[in-house]
Amino acid sequence: NWLSMLLVMMLPTPFWTSPSKAMNLVNMVTDSMVKEVILHSKNKNMSIIMISLFMYLLINNMMGLVPYIFTASAHLVFSLSLALTLWMSMMLFGWTNKTNSMFCHLVPTGTPNVLMPFMVLIESVSNFIRPGSLAVRISANMIAGHLLMTLLGENLSENIPMMMLMMWLFMGLMLFELAVAFIQSY
Average pLDDT of the chain, as a whole number? 79
Q: Which of 69-83, 122-136, 158-172 is the least confident region?
A: 158-172
* pLDDT 10s digits, 60-85: 888 777 777 777 778 888 888 888 98
Cβ 132 vs Cβ 80: under 8 Å: yes
Q: Is the pLDDT of residue 1 over 60?
A: no
Q: What is the pTM of this model?
A: 0.70
pLDDT at residue 121, rounded to an integer? 92
pLDDT at residue 52, rounded to an integer? 78
Q: Is the pLDDT of residue 94 over 70?
A: yes
Which long-range contacts link 5-8 to residues 24+ away (Cβ below 8 Å)?
5/60, 5/63, 5/72, 5/78, 7/63, 8/59, 8/63
pLDDT at residue 71, rounded to an integer? 77
Q: How would you label 42-71 residue by residue, b for 16+ Cβ within 10 Å and e otherwise?
A: eeeeebeebbeebbebbbbbbbbbeeeebb
pLDDT band at 5 (very low <50, low <70, confident <90, very high): low
